Structure 1
Amino acid sequence: MTQALEQHTYLPQSEEEKHLAEVVSFLDAHERRFGDRVEPRYLLVGSDEGDQVPLPAEVHAILKQVVSALQAGRAVTVAPHTTKLTTQQAADLLGVTRPTVKRLISVGELPAEKIGTRHRLVLRDVLDYQQRRRAQQYDALVSTSVALDDEDDPAVVAEQMKAARKAMAEHRRSRRTTA
Protein backbone atom coordinates (compact mmCIF):
# COMPACT_ATOMS: atom_id res chain seq x y z
CA MET A 1 0.00 0.00 0.00
CA THR A 2 3.04 2.31 0.25
CA GLN A 3 2.94 2.63 -3.54
CA ALA A 4 -0.32 4.58 -3.14
CA LEU A 5 1.61 7.34 -1.38
CA GLU A 6 4.10 7.78 -4.20
CA GLN A 7 3.69 9.72 -7.45
CA HIS A 8 3.42 7.52 -10.52
CA THR A 9 2.83 8.23 -14.22
CA TYR A 10 0.86 5.75 -16.31
CA LEU A 11 1.42 5.65 -20.06
CA PRO A 12 -1.22 4.44 -22.52
CA GLN A 13 -0.57 0.91 -23.80
CA SER A 14 -1.68 -0.02 -27.32
CA GLU A 15 -2.93 -3.48 -26.28
CA GLU A 16 -5.16 -1.85 -23.64
CA GLU A 17 -6.98 0.36 -26.17
CA LYS A 18 -9.65 -2.27 -26.84
CA HIS A 19 -10.38 -2.63 -23.14
CA LEU A 20 -10.43 1.13 -22.61
CA ALA A 21 -12.86 1.49 -25.51
CA GLU A 22 -15.11 -1.10 -23.87
CA VAL A 23 -15.01 0.80 -20.57
CA VAL A 24 -15.78 4.14 -22.23
CA SER A 25 -18.56 2.54 -24.29
CA PHE A 26 -20.09 1.00 -21.17
CA LEU A 27 -19.97 4.30 -19.27
CA ASP A 28 -21.49 6.25 -22.19
CA ALA A 29 -24.28 3.70 -22.65
CA HIS A 30 -25.05 3.75 -18.92
CA GLU A 31 -25.27 7.54 -18.85
CA ARG A 32 -27.43 7.63 -22.01
CA ARG A 33 -29.76 4.97 -20.65
CA PHE A 34 -30.19 6.20 -17.10
CA GLY A 35 -28.96 9.79 -17.10
CA ASP A 36 -29.65 11.35 -13.69
CA ARG A 37 -32.85 9.36 -13.08
CA VAL A 38 -31.13 6.58 -11.19
CA GLU A 39 -28.59 7.07 -8.45
CA PRO A 40 -25.65 5.17 -9.92
CA ARG A 41 -23.91 2.50 -7.86
CA TYR A 42 -20.39 1.60 -8.81
CA LEU A 43 -18.70 -1.56 -7.62
CA LEU A 44 -15.21 -2.95 -7.60
CA VAL A 45 -15.73 -6.62 -8.37
CA GLY A 46 -13.37 -9.51 -7.62
CA SER A 47 -13.21 -12.95 -9.19
CA ASP A 48 -15.53 -14.72 -6.72
CA GLU A 49 -19.30 -14.32 -6.68
CA GLY A 50 -20.23 -11.74 -4.09
CA ASP A 51 -16.65 -10.47 -4.02
CA GLN A 52 -17.41 -6.77 -4.43
CA VAL A 53 -17.08 -3.47 -2.67
CA PRO A 54 -18.95 -0.22 -3.39
CA LEU A 55 -16.87 2.41 -5.17
CA PRO A 56 -17.41 6.02 -4.02
CA ALA A 57 -18.65 8.40 -6.72
CA GLU A 58 -15.46 10.48 -6.44
CA VAL A 59 -13.28 7.41 -7.14
CA HIS A 60 -15.52 6.57 -10.10
CA ALA A 61 -15.05 10.11 -11.46
CA ILE A 62 -11.28 9.75 -11.10
CA LEU A 63 -11.29 6.41 -12.92
CA LYS A 64 -13.44 7.89 -15.70
CA GLN A 65 -10.99 10.75 -16.17
CA VAL A 66 -8.01 8.37 -16.20
CA VAL A 67 -9.67 6.05 -18.74
CA SER A 68 -10.58 8.98 -21.01
CA ALA A 69 -7.04 10.35 -20.91
CA LEU A 70 -5.44 6.97 -21.58
CA GLN A 71 -7.84 6.31 -24.45
CA ALA A 72 -6.88 9.67 -25.93
CA GLY A 73 -3.24 8.54 -25.86
CA ARG A 74 -2.25 10.79 -22.98
CA ALA A 75 -0.19 9.85 -19.94
CA VAL A 76 -1.74 10.18 -16.49
CA THR A 77 0.17 11.10 -13.35
CA VAL A 78 -1.27 10.26 -9.96
CA ALA A 79 0.37 12.44 -7.32
CA PRO A 80 -1.00 12.12 -3.79
CA HIS A 81 -0.88 15.30 -1.71
CA THR A 82 -1.17 15.85 1.99
CA THR A 83 -4.10 17.99 3.04
CA LYS A 84 -1.77 20.44 4.82
CA LEU A 85 0.81 22.12 2.61
CA THR A 86 3.93 24.15 3.24
CA THR A 87 4.27 27.44 1.42
CA GLN A 88 6.70 25.77 -1.00
CA GLN A 89 4.27 22.93 -1.74
CA ALA A 90 1.47 25.46 -2.33
CA ALA A 91 3.77 27.47 -4.61
CA ASP A 92 4.64 24.35 -6.61
CA LEU A 93 0.95 23.45 -6.95
CA LEU A 94 0.02 26.97 -8.07
CA GLY A 95 3.04 27.39 -10.33
CA VAL A 96 4.25 30.50 -8.52
CA THR A 97 7.16 31.34 -6.24
CA ARG A 98 7.16 30.84 -2.47
CA PRO A 99 7.39 34.61 -1.88
CA THR A 100 4.25 35.02 -4.00
CA VAL A 101 2.41 32.54 -1.75
CA LYS A 102 3.68 34.41 1.33
CA ARG A 103 2.35 37.67 -0.18
CA LEU A 104 -1.03 36.05 -0.93
CA ILE A 105 -1.19 34.93 2.71
CA SER A 106 -0.25 38.37 4.02
CA VAL A 107 -2.93 40.14 1.94
CA GLY A 108 -5.57 37.58 2.92
CA GLU A 109 -6.11 35.96 -0.48
CA LEU A 110 -4.90 32.59 0.79
CA PRO A 111 -5.85 31.50 4.31
CA ALA A 112 -3.06 29.87 6.28
CA GLU A 113 -2.35 28.70 9.79
CA LYS A 114 0.86 29.88 11.41
CA ILE A 115 2.68 27.21 13.37
CA GLY A 116 5.68 28.79 15.06
CA THR A 117 7.38 30.76 12.31
CA ARG A 118 5.99 28.67 9.45
CA HIS A 119 2.71 28.77 7.58
CA ARG A 120 0.59 25.72 6.72
CA LEU A 121 -2.14 25.89 4.10
CA VAL A 122 -5.13 23.61 3.65
CA LEU A 123 -5.06 21.91 0.24
CA ARG A 124 -8.77 22.73 -0.38
CA ASP A 125 -8.07 26.44 0.19
CA VAL A 126 -5.18 26.37 -2.30
CA LEU A 127 -7.30 24.56 -4.91
CA ASP A 128 -10.19 27.00 -4.35
CA TYR A 129 -7.80 29.94 -4.83
CA GLN A 130 -6.51 28.32 -8.03
CA GLN A 131 -10.07 28.03 -9.38
CA ARG A 132 -10.92 31.63 -8.43
CA ARG A 133 -7.70 32.85 -10.07
CA ARG A 134 -8.46 30.95 -13.29
CA ALA A 135 -11.98 32.40 -13.34
CA GLN A 136 -10.57 35.92 -12.87
CA GLN A 137 -8.05 35.37 -15.66
CA TYR A 138 -10.76 34.06 -17.98
CA ASP A 139 -13.02 37.02 -17.16
CA ALA A 140 -10.13 39.42 -17.85
CA LEU A 141 -9.48 37.75 -21.20
CA VAL A 142 -13.13 37.96 -22.16
CA SER A 143 -13.46 41.59 -21.08
CA THR A 144 -10.45 42.63 -23.12
CA SER A 145 -11.07 40.48 -26.17
CA VAL A 146 -11.42 42.11 -29.55
CA ALA A 147 -13.51 40.55 -32.32
CA LEU A 148 -11.54 40.52 -35.55
CA ASP A 149 -12.78 40.21 -39.09
CA ASP A 150 -10.72 39.78 -42.26
CA GLU A 151 -12.17 43.02 -43.55
CA ASP A 152 -11.22 45.09 -40.48
CA ASP A 153 -8.85 47.99 -40.95
CA PRO A 154 -5.46 47.08 -39.38
CA ALA A 155 -5.15 50.57 -37.87
CA VAL A 156 -8.52 50.20 -36.11
CA VAL A 157 -7.55 46.73 -34.85
CA ALA A 158 -4.26 48.11 -33.54
CA GLU A 159 -6.15 50.81 -31.62
CA GLN A 160 -8.56 48.22 -30.17
CA MET A 161 -5.61 46.08 -29.05
CA LYS A 162 -3.91 49.12 -27.49
CA ALA A 163 -7.11 49.93 -25.57
CA ALA A 164 -7.38 46.32 -24.39
CA ARG A 165 -3.76 46.34 -23.14
CA LYS A 166 -4.38 49.64 -21.35
CA ALA A 167 -7.52 48.24 -19.69
CA MET A 168 -5.57 45.19 -18.48
CA ALA A 169 -2.78 47.36 -17.09
CA GLU A 170 -5.32 49.49 -15.21
CA HIS A 171 -6.99 46.35 -13.90
CA ARG A 172 -3.65 45.02 -12.60
CA ARG A 173 -2.80 48.37 -11.01
CA SER A 174 -6.16 48.56 -9.26
CA ARG A 175 -5.73 45.02 -7.90
CA ARG A 176 -2.31 45.92 -6.48
CA THR A 177 -3.57 49.05 -4.74
CA THR A 178 -6.57 47.26 -3.19
CA ALA A 179 -4.51 44.26 -2.06
Structure 2
Amino acid sequence: MLDFLTAHEAAGRALPEPRYFLAGARPGDQVELPEEVYLALRKIVDAMQSGLAVSVVPQTTRLTTQQAADLLNVSRPTIVKLLDEGEIPFEKAGTHRRVLLADLLEYRERRRERQYDMLAATRDSVDEDNIEQTLEDLKAARKAVAARRGEPPGSDFAA
Protein backbone atom coordinates (compact mmCIF):
# COMPACT_ATOMS: atom_id res chain seq x y z
CA MET A 1 0.00 0.00 0.00
CA LEU A 2 2.82 2.38 0.92
CA ASP A 3 4.57 1.62 -2.40
CA PHE A 4 1.38 2.49 -4.26
CA LEU A 5 1.02 5.82 -2.45
CA THR A 6 4.70 6.65 -2.95
CA ALA A 7 4.51 5.86 -6.69
CA HIS A 8 1.28 7.86 -6.94
CA GLU A 9 2.95 10.91 -5.36
CA ALA A 10 6.11 10.47 -7.47
CA ALA A 11 3.97 10.60 -10.62
CA GLY A 12 2.72 14.03 -9.48
CA ARG A 13 -0.76 12.89 -8.68
CA ALA A 14 -2.73 13.92 -5.61
CA LEU A 15 -3.24 11.33 -2.94
CA PRO A 16 -6.49 9.43 -3.40
CA GLU A 17 -9.36 10.25 -1.08
CA PRO A 18 -9.70 7.73 1.75
CA ARG A 19 -12.43 5.12 1.29
CA TYR A 20 -14.02 2.96 3.96
CA PHE A 21 -15.36 -0.55 3.57
CA LEU A 22 -17.29 -3.00 5.70
CA ALA A 23 -16.09 -6.53 4.92
CA GLY A 24 -18.14 -9.69 5.22
CA ALA A 25 -17.03 -13.22 6.05
CA ARG A 26 -16.26 -14.23 2.46
CA PRO A 27 -13.61 -12.77 0.15
CA GLY A 28 -15.02 -9.97 -1.98
CA ASP A 29 -18.00 -9.57 0.35
CA GLN A 30 -17.75 -5.87 1.12
CA VAL A 31 -19.68 -2.64 0.92
CA GLU A 32 -18.32 0.91 0.79
CA LEU A 33 -19.33 3.14 3.70
CA PRO A 34 -19.74 6.91 3.76
CA GLU A 35 -17.14 8.59 5.94
CA GLU A 36 -19.82 9.68 8.45
CA VAL A 37 -20.93 6.06 8.96
CA TYR A 38 -17.34 4.89 9.34
CA LEU A 39 -16.65 7.59 11.98
CA ALA A 40 -19.85 6.72 13.86
CA LEU A 41 -18.93 3.02 13.86
CA ARG A 42 -15.46 3.85 15.18
CA LYS A 43 -17.01 5.77 18.10
CA ILE A 44 -19.35 2.89 18.85
CA VAL A 45 -16.54 0.32 18.80
CA ASP A 46 -14.31 2.55 20.98
CA ALA A 47 -17.13 2.97 23.53
CA MET A 48 -17.84 -0.77 23.59
CA GLN A 49 -14.15 -1.56 24.06
CA SER A 50 -14.21 0.76 27.06
CA GLY A 51 -17.06 -1.26 28.54
CA LEU A 52 -19.72 1.37 27.91
CA ALA A 53 -23.28 0.57 26.89
CA VAL A 54 -24.20 1.96 23.48
CA SER A 55 -27.56 2.91 22.02
CA VAL A 56 -27.96 4.21 18.51
CA VAL A 57 -31.13 6.20 17.91
CA PRO A 58 -32.03 8.93 15.43
CA GLN A 59 -31.91 12.42 16.92
CA THR A 60 -35.46 12.89 15.65
CA THR A 61 -36.59 10.31 18.20
CA ARG A 62 -39.30 11.62 20.50
CA LEU A 63 -38.95 10.73 24.16
CA THR A 64 -41.50 10.55 26.93
CA THR A 65 -40.89 12.70 29.98
CA GLN A 66 -39.79 9.58 31.88
CA GLN A 67 -37.28 8.64 29.17
CA ALA A 68 -35.97 12.22 29.17
CA ALA A 69 -35.66 12.14 32.97
CA ASP A 70 -33.79 8.84 32.80
CA LEU A 71 -31.37 10.21 30.20
CA LEU A 72 -30.59 13.27 32.35
CA ASN A 73 -30.69 11.23 35.56
CA VAL A 74 -33.25 13.51 37.18
CA SER A 75 -36.84 12.98 38.29
CA ARG A 76 -39.78 13.14 35.90
CA PRO A 77 -41.27 16.12 37.79
CA THR A 78 -37.97 17.95 37.25
CA ILE A 79 -38.26 17.36 33.49
CA VAL A 80 -41.87 18.55 33.49
CA LYS A 81 -40.79 21.70 35.33
CA LEU A 82 -37.99 22.33 32.80
CA LEU A 83 -40.45 21.87 29.94
CA ASP A 84 -43.02 24.19 31.51
CA GLU A 85 -40.32 26.82 32.14
CA GLY A 86 -39.29 26.71 28.47
CA GLU A 87 -35.80 25.33 29.17
CA ILE A 88 -36.41 22.42 26.78
CA PRO A 89 -38.75 22.57 23.76
CA PHE A 90 -41.46 19.91 23.60
CA GLU A 91 -44.53 18.86 21.67
CA LYS A 92 -47.85 17.68 22.98
CA ALA A 93 -49.39 14.45 21.75
CA GLY A 94 -52.84 14.68 23.28
CA THR A 95 -52.15 15.25 26.97
CA HIS A 96 -48.65 13.77 26.82
CA ARG A 97 -45.45 15.77 26.37
CA ARG A 98 -42.82 14.51 23.94
CA VAL A 99 -39.23 15.76 23.78
CA LEU A 100 -36.98 15.49 20.75
CA LEU A 101 -33.74 13.71 21.60
CA ALA A 102 -31.77 16.44 19.81
CA ASP A 103 -33.38 19.13 21.99
CA LEU A 104 -32.68 17.16 25.15
CA LEU A 105 -29.03 16.64 24.19
CA GLU A 106 -28.71 20.35 23.41
CA TYR A 107 -30.12 21.22 26.86
CA ARG A 108 -27.73 18.77 28.51
CA GLU A 109 -24.77 20.41 26.75
CA ARG A 110 -25.91 23.91 27.78
CA ARG A 111 -26.31 22.70 31.37
CA ARG A 112 -22.81 21.21 31.35
CA GLU A 113 -21.32 24.43 30.02
CA ARG A 114 -23.03 26.41 32.81
CA GLN A 115 -21.73 23.92 35.38
CA TYR A 116 -18.17 24.16 34.04
CA ASP A 117 -18.41 27.95 34.13
CA MET A 118 -19.58 27.81 37.76
CA LEU A 119 -16.77 25.40 38.64
CA ALA A 120 -14.21 27.71 37.04
CA ALA A 121 -15.58 30.65 39.02
CA THR A 122 -15.54 28.56 42.20
CA ARG A 123 -11.96 27.43 41.56
CA ASP A 124 -10.87 31.06 41.63
CA SER A 125 -12.37 31.51 45.10
CA VAL A 126 -11.08 28.30 46.72
CA ASP A 127 -9.34 28.84 50.03
CA GLU A 128 -6.51 26.29 49.84
CA ASP A 129 -5.76 26.75 53.54
CA ASN A 130 -9.24 25.55 54.47
CA ILE A 131 -10.15 22.94 51.85
CA GLU A 132 -12.59 21.12 54.16
CA GLN A 133 -14.70 24.27 54.53
CA THR A 134 -14.59 24.85 50.78
CA LEU A 135 -15.83 21.31 50.13
CA GLU A 136 -18.66 21.77 52.64
CA ASP A 137 -19.61 25.07 50.98
CA LEU A 138 -19.69 23.39 47.55
CA LYS A 139 -21.80 20.52 48.88
CA ALA A 140 -24.29 22.98 50.41
CA ALA A 141 -24.46 24.98 47.18
CA ARG A 142 -25.12 21.83 45.16
CA LYS A 143 -27.91 20.79 47.53
CA ALA A 144 -29.46 24.26 47.28
CA VAL A 145 -29.48 24.12 43.47
CA ALA A 146 -30.99 20.62 43.51
CA ALA A 147 -33.66 21.76 45.99
CA ARG A 148 -34.58 24.72 43.74
CA ARG A 149 -34.99 22.29 40.86
CA GLY A 150 -37.08 19.95 42.97
CA GLU A 151 -34.66 17.07 42.50
CA PRO A 152 -34.47 14.35 45.11
CA PRO A 153 -31.31 14.28 47.27
CA GLY A 154 -28.53 12.32 45.61
CA SER A 155 -29.70 12.87 42.03
CA ASP A 156 -26.92 13.40 39.53
CA PHE A 157 -26.60 17.16 39.21
CA ALA A 158 -23.67 16.81 36.78
CA ALA A 159 -25.36 14.58 34.21
TM above 0.5, one fold? Answer: yes
Letter paired with 1:76: L
TM-score (norm 1): 0.56
Q: Does 1:77 align with 2:56?
A: no
1:125 aligns with 2:114: no
Where do residues 87-102 of structure 1 align in structure 2 (5 Å cutoff)?
A: 87-102=65-80
Unaligned stretches of 5+ residues in structure 1: 1-36
RMSD, aligned α-carbons: 3.7
Query: Which residue is equivalent to 2:27?
Result: 48
2:53 is paired with a residue whose SS is strand
Q: Is the 8 A contact 2:47 2:53 kept in 1?
A: no
Cα displacement (A) at 1:68: 3.3
Aligned residue number for residue 88 of structure 2: 110
In 2, distance between residues paired with 1:142 and 1:78? 31
Residues 136 and 39 from structure 1, CA distance in 2 versus in 1: closer, same or farther, beyond 3 angstroms? Answer: farther
Evaluate the alpha carbon distance shift between residue 38 and residue 87 of structure 1 in structure 2; reply closer, same or farther with a 3 A threshold. farther
| Off by >6 Å, runs of 4+ in structure 1 | none
CA offsets per residue over residues 33-60 of structure 1, 9 Å max, x none? xxxx9754211123333x4322233332
Pairing partner for 2:46 from 68, 80, 84: 68
CA distance in 2, matches of 1:92, 1:147: 34
- CA displacement 1:109-151 (0-9 Å, x = unmatched): 10000111101111111111111111111111111114879xx
With over 3 angstroms needed to count, the CA separation of the structure-2 counterparts of 1:75 and 1:153, relative to structure 1, is closer
Separation of aligned partners in 2, 1:38 and 1:90 = 44
Does the aligned pair in 1 maintain the 2:69–2:76 contact within 8 Å? yes
Match in the other structure for 2:11: none
Q: CA deviation at 1:108?
A: 0.5
Match of 2:122 in 1: 144
Question: May I ask how many residue pairs the two structures share in their alignment?
Answer: 130
Structure 2 unaligned segments of length 5 or more: list them.
1-14, 150-159
Q: Which amino acid aligns with 1:134?
A: R
User: Residue 86 of structure 2 aligns to a residue in which SS?
Assistant: coil
> Which piece of structure 1 moves more, 137-146 or 107-116?
137-146
TM-score (norm 2): 0.62
